[in-house]
Structure 1
Amino acid sequence: MKQWKHAFKLDPNKHLSEEGIQAICESGTDAVIVGGSDGVTFDNVWDLFEKIEPYNVPLVLEVSDMEAVVPGFDYYFVPSVLNSKDKTWVLDMQHQAMKMYGDMVEEQLLVSEGYCIVNEEAKAFLKTNCFPVTDEDILAYARLVEHLFPLPIFYLEYSGRMGEKELIRKVSGELSRTQFFYGGGIQTKEEAEELGEMVDTMVVGNIIYDDLEAALRTVPGHKKG
């Protein structure tokens, strides 16, 4: 996981053809994450898992609903939404995950993410009842997960729009033990290459459903076939 530079995120509540799924899984990406902000159910997670499981790529389920946890993934990411006003998204869901799947911790299958959701118009921001954050807040959260409450991952999520490059660089400078995931607004090969110099792992999601070929070009070393 530490070596991952690029991951695709597939939403079980969105449609992607089997040819598109094959292209994503065989693209050279380091991992495929399954997760979404709404409409995530056991059935649609299971349906997507069955389609991607045959491919030789690490599979991650980002847990947003304990009732939609499907067995068989390589990792289960449990987000703590640091700028949520609701304790459910900061601690309660994590507590429930430990009650139900705590044995996975020793197997290193269950991984905690410190999430900061920035885009105030994003579904994830609204669903998790977040409050707006300043640059200073974001840097403080990065320091928190690096030093005070050490977590394996700090995920800076802009959900559909690109973050400010200078801020991303500053966040990166705060993290050494914690792996820096970034998601939001990555649409071109050039943007991916620039971000690749700043973050540990970039996550590409929305563009998959708008322009699959553009999404594929964000994979490091991608060659147009």
Structure 2
Amino acid sequence: MKDIIKPWRHVFKLDPEKEISDDILDKVCMSGTDAIMLGGSTGVTYENTVDLMSRVRRYELPCVQEVSDLEAVVPGFDLYMVPMVLNTSDPTWIVDRHREGIERYGYMIPWELIVTEGYIVLNPDAAVAKLTKAETEISEESVAAYAQIADKLMSLPIVYLEYSGMFGDMDTVRTVRRSLDHARLFYGGGITSAEQAGVAASIADTIVVGNVIYDDLSGALETVKVVKG
């Protein structure tokens, strides 16, 4: 099942905390995107995740949960993506929350559906950066080194460059791309146009498009067209 991510070029990310109408959800799910990811840094609950998942499940495309809160983990997703924030000095977001989750739920974890993401958070103003105390003011070389830790030392299947809320430095993304041998490179953050989507997708294996869905649906749908041709 973990091979499911290999062909993904474009993923829409929906925040369970945010309202989305049936009409907009239909357009998003029928857009041609490769998968729908559910997740957010704050305000994600079991109830709003179940509600959104049940609505997405009406469509025939992979529906995955990015796990950010142990209380919000919902059975029934095709895949569970588990972030490990690499550029933080707080072990809570590297191993402690993961240990806690395994202690509490280890007997019922579908390990065959778990994919670990080596997260590198690079926007200091993002909610996820503040929550995880990420050290965002780091050099391009340091970002690449974190990526190689994920790829070569930890053998993680995904390196995720997270610029949530801003369009990232594409030179840094290129440097990370060149440093990886095995992991897939996911890019997320600030994609608000087809042009930005095309640039990011020309470097990363997979782009994740989120906030623009709620601000400019037509712009969000254009990102699928430029990436998927």
1:172 aligns with 2:177: yes
Q: 2:61 aligns with which of 57, 61, 78?
A: 57
Aligned-residue identity in percent: 46
How big is the shift at 1:168?
A: 0.9
2:164 alignment partner, SS class: coil
Q: Deviations over 1:152-195 (max 9, x none)?
A: 11000000111111111111111131010000111111221222
How big is the shift at 1:207?
A: 0.6
Q: Deviations over 1:32-69 (max 9, x none)?
A: 10000111100010111111011011011000111100
Q: Distance in 2 between matches of 1:101 and 1:182?
A: 30
1:135 aligns with 2:140: yes
1:219 alignment partner, SS class: helix
Contact 2:10 2:227 (C-alpha < 8 Å) held by counterparts: no
Could you say which residue in structure 2 is the equivalent of 1:125? 129
User: What TM-score results when the alignment is normalised by the length of structure 1?
Assistant: 0.94
Q: Could you tell me which amino acid in structure 1 is paired with residue 78 of structure 2?
A: D
Q: Distance in 2 between matches of 1:2 and 1:48?
A: 25
Could you say which residue in structure 2 is the equivalent of 1:17? 21
Q: 1:5 aligns with which of 6, 9, 12?
A: 9
Point out the more displaced range, 87-96 or 16-25.
87-96
Q: Could you tell me which amino acid in structure 1 is paired with residue 172 of structure 2?
A: L
How big is the shift at 1:101?
A: 4.5
Q: 2:110 aligns with which of 104, 107, 111?
A: 104
Alignment of 1:6-85 (within 5 A): 6-85=10-89
1:149 aligns with 2:154: yes
Q: Going by fraction, where is helix more abundant, 1 or 2?
A: 2
Structure 2 gap ranges (5+): none
Q: Distance in 2 between matches of 1:169 and 1:135?
A: 10
Q: Deviations over 1:118-171 (max 9, x none)?
A: 000111100112122221221111111111111011000000111111111111
Q: Distance in 2 between matches of 1:190 and 1:101?
A: 43
1:218 alignment partner, SS class: helix
Q: Deviations over 1:56-109 (max 9, x none)?
A: 11011000111100111000011001112221110012223434257522x2x1
Distance 1:170 1:220, change over 3 A: farther
Contact 1:27 1:222 (C-alpha < 8 Å) held by counterparts: no
